Amino acid sequence: MPDILEGRYASDWLKAESHNSGYSREEVIVISGAGVVQSGTVLGKITASGKYKPVTVAAVDGSQNAAAILLDPVDATSADAAAVVIAREAIVVQQGLLYGADVDTAAERLAVHNALRALNPPILVREGA
């Protein structure tokens, strides 16, 4: 019998969002070249274009600062992709979040979580389910 692989869902990481319908969500563009970006990926916003890509520590274009979390997967491999993100007033579980390739230490993840907490209203990152 073949293995069945199940994808990632927002319920893997999103535990609560604003009680005001749609307030936590925003439509954005994930920039071409970002690849296939999975649900739960923390995104940074590129200052010059306003487009988003996975947050990385080494970036200097504004995307080094966490700005949102991708709700559903998108393929931005060869073209910009429209996406819905959680941009404010939410509670998420850190174990379900994904980051850019160079966010690989606890200190770097904490900095990303603190940037999400600094949003107004904040996205709070919690440990555990």
Percent of the chain with pLDDT over 90: 87
Instruction: Identify whether 12 is part of a domain.
Output: no
pTM recorded for the entire structure? 0.93
What are residue 75's DSSP bridge partners? Answer: 36
Domain CATH code at residue 31: 2.40.300.10
Instruction: Identify whether 17 is part of a domain.
Output: no
Altogether, the residues listed in the chain come to a count of 129
Instruction: Identify whether 6 is part of a domain.
Output: no
Instruction: Identify whether 79 is part of a domain.
Output: yes
* pLDDT tens-digit readout, 97-128: 999 999 999 999 999 999 999 999 999 999 87
- As a whole number of angstroms, the distance between CA 36 and CA 48 comes to 22
Torsion of CA 24, 126, 5, 78, to 10 degrees: 50
Instruction: Identify whether 3 is part of a domain.
Output: no
* pLDDT tens-digit readout, 84-99: 999 999 999 999 999 9
Instruction: Identify whether 53 is part of a domain.
Output: yes
For residue 73, what are the domain limits?
Answer: 23-126
What are residue 37's DSSP bridge partners? Answer: 74
- As a whole number of angstroms, the distance between CA 39 and CA 111 comes to 20
- Count of domains for the chain: 1
